[in-house]
Amino acid sequence: MAKQVRTKKIEETIPVQEEIAAPEILPEVTPEQTPVTEPIKYVEERQPDVLKEEAVERLSDDTMEASILKYLDSKGEGDHLLNDFIKSLFPIPKINEPAIYLTQENSRYIRHVLDNMQLESKISIVNNSHRKLGAHWYEEGTGVAKKHNLLTVKIVAKK
Q: With contact defined as beta carbons under 8 Å apart, do 102 and 150 qualify?
A: yes
> Longest C-alpha distance within the chain, in Å?
96
Question: How do strand 156-158 and strand 124-125 relate by DSSP bridges?
Answer: antiparallel
- Structural domain contains residue 41: no
pTM of the predicted structure, to 2 decimals: 0.59
- Structural domain contains residue 38: no
Cite the DSSP H helix spans in 99-155. 104-119
Cα–Cα distance for residue pair 155/84, rounded to 1 Å: 10
Predicted confidence pLDDT, tens digits, the chain (159 residues): 566 666 666 666 666 666 666 666 666 666 665 566 666 666 666 555 554 544 444 444 468 999 999 999 999 889 999 999 999 999 988 889 989 999 999 999 999 999 999 999 999 999 999 999 999 889 888 999 999 999 999 999 988
DSSP 63: S
- pLDDT score for 72: 93
- Structural domain contains residue 17: no
- pLDDT score for 113: 94
Which range marks the domain in which residue 138 is found?
50-158
- Structural domain contains residue 62: yes
Total domains, the chain: 1
- Structural domain contains residue 124: yes
- pLDDT score for 55: 47
- Structural domain contains residue 3: no
Q: With contact defined as beta carbons under 8 Å apart, do 81 and 158 qualify?
A: no
- Structural domain contains residue 6: no
